[in-house]
Structure formats: structure tokens, C-alpha cells
Amino acid sequence: MTKEELLEQLPGDLRPWAEIWMPILLSWSEEQVTKFIRRALGGQWQSAYQMLIKSMSVEQRTAELKIRKEALKQLNLNNAAFIRSQRSLLLEIIAKAFMALK
């Protein structure tokens, strides 16, 4: 399987991350990859991620920060929409409660 075929099989939101991380993982020795996988699967995700960061070029770090910024922006937008829907639901419940009192 080629790198491109592998990227195509990933969910769309993971592809930008994989495009940055894959060259790093492919450049590592078997020992480094094993260490990374063991840390990630063992719940030591931060330690595994630090291994990636140390191996990144400045350009890769910059690209990842842009992806992270966009992901956080989307989370904020989703959260704002959720809060609006919760407020609407609360106001609807209050209105129904007042109507029931009449």
C-alpha cells in the first residue's frame, strides 16, 4: 500500500495530521516506532506526541499549529451552536412552565 492509498483510507479530519506525521514515522527506526506505539497505546499519549514534536521540522510544526488552530476554531463554533440550542431549550421550557401556571 502506498502512502497516498493509506491517506485516502483515513477519515478526512485525520488526513492533515497524517500528512505531517507519516513522513516522520516512516523515517524512524523500528525501535522508535515501537516505542511510539507502546506509549500511545499505553495511555502515555503526551510522551508519544513529544517524540513526534522533537522529530518535526519548523515547517512541520508550523503546519501542525495551523491545523490545531482550525480544529479549535471549529470546536468553538460547535460549542457556541450547542450553547444557543441549550438556551433556546431552556427558554422554551420556562415558557411552557409559565403557560401551565395559567
pTM above 0.75, yes or no: no
- Contact of 59 with 47, CB cutoff 8 Å: no
- Predicted confidence at residue 53, as pLDDT, reads 93
Which segments in the chain show pLDDT lower than 70?
Answer: 102
Q: What does the block give as the cell for 12? A: 478526512
CA separation for the pair 33, 60 (Å, rounded): 18
DSSP state of 14: T
CA separation for the pair 19, 56 (Å, rounded): 12
62-72 pLDDT, tens digit per residue, is 999 999 999 89
Q: What percentage of the chain reaches a pLDDT higher than 90?
A: 52
Q: What rounded mean pLDDT belongs to the chain?
A: 90
- Predicted confidence at residue 33, as pLDDT, reads 94
- Predicted confidence at residue 10, as pLDDT, reads 86
